[in-house]
Amino acid sequence: MSRHLTDRGVDHVVLERDTIAHEWLDSRWDNFTLVTPNWQCALPGYRYDGPDPDGFMTREEVYRWVRGYADTFEPPVREHVSVRSITLAPDGGFDVVTSASRWHAGQVVVAAGGYHEPIVPRFAERLPAHITQLHSAHYRNADALPEGAVLVVGTGQSGAQIAEDLHLAGRTVHLAVGNAPRVARFYRGRDCVAWLHDMGHYDIPIQDQPGGSGKRENTNHYVTGRDGGRDIDLRQFALEGMALYGRMTDISADGVAAFAPTLAASLDAADAVAESIKDSIDAYIARAGIDAPREPRYVPVWRPGHEPATLDLDAHGVTSVVWSVGYRTDYRWLRVGVFDGAGHPCHNRGVTGTPGLYFLGLPWLHTWGSGRFAAVARDAEFLAEQIVPAVRASAAA
């Protein structure tokens, strides 16, 4: 956003509570990688130009890449400045109270993402005190946890990859499987992301998607970019000794976790999504007359013979629990009436019903790519084109 405003000569300031790109180091585990290929990382006037365009940057590489982008145009960033409140000003615009000073802004772009407060279920309060518990945002590596088995709760992108990280480190892993879908890493000779990119899948507006704005509640598909990229197959993990369970529903004060009988259905549903994506790729290849290698379809390598209803943590040597059940938004500081009953901002492509207030970088802001490097620059350009006329009109008034 700052780059587009800079290019258009719009006076602005970027307020950052910590430092540029700090989240890439502070809220990612040591072996984190992107799940989208490096060639899809493109910001205004700045693309990935490293030696591995089809690879997946590590957290340190992403951090350096974003910092390098900032160095190309020196954005007017005020670091270590937290926004305490934003309210409508009596005479128009917005009053902004920060940890450093007060501001008046004619227009405000909220680019704080959609993942603010880590979610931990209330029943976690009953977890015995001798068992370490942490959210996936605070997980770093297997060695940072006490010796012993680990229960990972949730199988979105973070949960599935953290379970793999622990599994590869030789830890005994118990995994409570949620309803996240999965996607194959490669199919018919290419990364599935490359196929979907060519098919225009990342460019379809949310209103044209099945379910419309309900897409914003969807969980991302689990896959990994680790070691050059590969599938995450929970069934294969089970064959290798990982214990799988259905959705976790409760835990008793003596450390017995309870699970719903949802494991088989969740595994089948995740596989069905992966296979449906392959169906769409097959159809695209046929329509376009592309000469692509054939590939046999996935056959489940394991099925649960029974679904455990409980897990006695102490009896199974579980010393740590990693909660990977998502985040909730926290816009309490934004005291402007642009939210729905669930606390989500109401907007059309980032433009709210309050003149001068915009959102950027949210999942599904406009397309599937909006919350990624794939399309955030395009969304920012669209908002800049809304902002510039308003700035000029205000200056002429």
Per-residue model confidence (pLDDT) at position 218: 73
Mean pLDDT over 215-235 rounds to 91
Per-residue model confidence (pLDDT) at position 215: 67
Residues 124 and 111 grouped into a single domain: no
Residues 85 and 174 grouped into a single domain: no
Structure tokens given for 349: 């492509």
pLDDT tens for each residue of 93-140 = 999 999 999 999 999 999 998 889 999 999 999 999 999 999 999 999
Alpha helices in 110-250 (DSSP H): 157-168, 192-198, 234-239
Residues 342 and 261 grouped into a single domain: no
Per-residue model confidence (pLDDT) at position 210: 81
Residues 76 and 134 grouped into a single domain: no
pLDDT over 90 (residue 63): yes
Please, are residues 131 and 320 in contact by the beta-carbon 8 Å criterion?
yes
Q: Which domain holds residue 132?
A: 117-326
Residues 140 and 65 grouped into a single domain: no
Structural domains counted in the chain: 2
Residues 88 and 236 grouped into a single domain: no
Residues 207 and 165 grouped into a single domain: yes
Residues 175 and 321 grouped into a single domain: yes
Query: Which among 27, 56, 22, 23 is positioned nearest to 39, based on CA atoms?
Result: 56
Beta strand 42-43 pairing with 46-47: antiparallel
3-state SS assignment for residue 264: helix
| Last residue of one domain, picked from the residues 326, 355, 378 | 326
| Last residue of one domain, picked from the residues 280, 303, 326 | 326
Rounded Cα distance, 81 and 127, in Å: 36
Query: Which among 153, 124, 135 is positioned nearest to 251, based on CA atoms?
Result: 124
Residues 136 and 13 grouped into a single domain: no
pLDDT tens for each residue of 1-21 = 999 999 999 999 999 999 999
Mean pLDDT over 254-261 rounds to 97
- Residue reference for tokens 């009896």: 315
Q: Is the pTM of this model over 0.75?
A: yes
pLDDT tens for each residue of 308-349 = 999 999 999 999 999 999 999 999 999 999 999 888 999 999
| Last residue of one domain, picked from the residues 292, 326, 360 | 326
Residues 73 and 123 grouped into a single domain: no
Residues 18 and 69 grouped into a single domain: yes
CATH of residue 308's domain is: 3.50.50.60
Per-residue model confidence (pLDDT) at position 249: 98
pLDDT over 90 (residue 212): no
> To the nearest 10°, the Cα dihedral for 280, 286, 289, 294?
90
Residues 129 and 85 grouped into a single domain: no
